[in-house]
Amino acid sequence: MTALTLFTPVRRRYVWFLEIGFFCARHLPLIQKHILQFNFIKFVRWTVVQLPGEKLNYRYMLFESNFDGPWQHYIDAFAYVIPRDIRTTWGRGIGFPGPPPSEPLKAWIAHNSMEGGTYYCAHPEASTRMIKSALVVRERIAPLVRAAPQMQPAEFAAAYRRFLTDVQAHV
């Protein structure tokens, strides 16, 4: 698991555009699903920041995400599968290299990535896909556990086989 934190300037005249876009994304399930179409992201957040007590020329966008492995492995997917989304979100800033291709985007991310500090994850060894599978197993085993004591052995064996078939893609 690795975390990626970007803090990039946004021209003030585009802040309203981003805020409306994020508002719509928050309330439209299809967009939520679109955001999480990549099964290597656990959590992702965007925050438009105005730092109190600071007089700055720009507003800033904080982006934080978490990937199953180094972020460099996934940028090709972003650059070629959702280039328009990326350009819409970060293209309001300065010097953003609209993808594709992916190499300038990788260089831009590396340039803006905040490094250092400390990081904690409660499930660091588990990929997003593993966790989704684990939740399916957890949900589906419970009815069998509840029913098992009342079953005859042959009936249980059949139910167990059906259960295993049902969850085999998740184990």
- The smaller minimum CB distance to other proteins, of residues 42 and 75, is found at 42
Shortest spacing between CB 112 and other proteins, in angstroms: 6
Size of the site for other proteins (CB under 8 A): 77
| Binding status of residue 17 toward other proteins by CB under 8 A | no
CA dihedral 128, 129, 130, 133 (to 10 degrees): 120
Interface with other proteins, residue 69, by CB under 8 A? no
Task: Give the DSSP letter string of 79-115.
Answer: HHHSHHHHHHHHTTSSS--PSSSSHHHHHHHHHHB--
**Joined tokens for residue 110:** 């590396």
d(CA 87, CA 69): 24
Asked whether position 117 contacts other proteins by CB under 8 A, the answer is: yes
**In angstroms, rounded to a whole number, what is the distance separating the alpha carbons of residues 141 and 123?**
21
From the list 77, 76, 96, 81, the residue with the least C-alpha distance to 11 is 96
> DSSP labels for 124-140?
TT--HHHHHHHHHHHHH
Contact between 29 and other proteins (CB under 8 A)? no
Q: Least distance from C-beta 94 to other proteins, angstroms?
A: 4
Q: Is 160 in the site for other proteins (CB under 8 A)?
A: yes
Interface with other proteins in residues 73-92 (CB under 8 A): none
Among 8, 67, 71, 105, the residue binding other proteins under the rule CB under 8 A is 8
The residue (of 72 and 127) whose beta carbon lies closer to other proteins is: 127
Kindly state the smallest distance separating residue 113's Cβ from other proteins, in Å: 9
| From 28, 77, 107, 131, residue interacting with other proteins (rule: CB under 8 A) | 131
Part of the chain binding other proteins (CB under 8 A), chosen from 76-84, 99-107, 113-121: 113-121
End-to-end Cα separation, the chain, in angstroms: 21
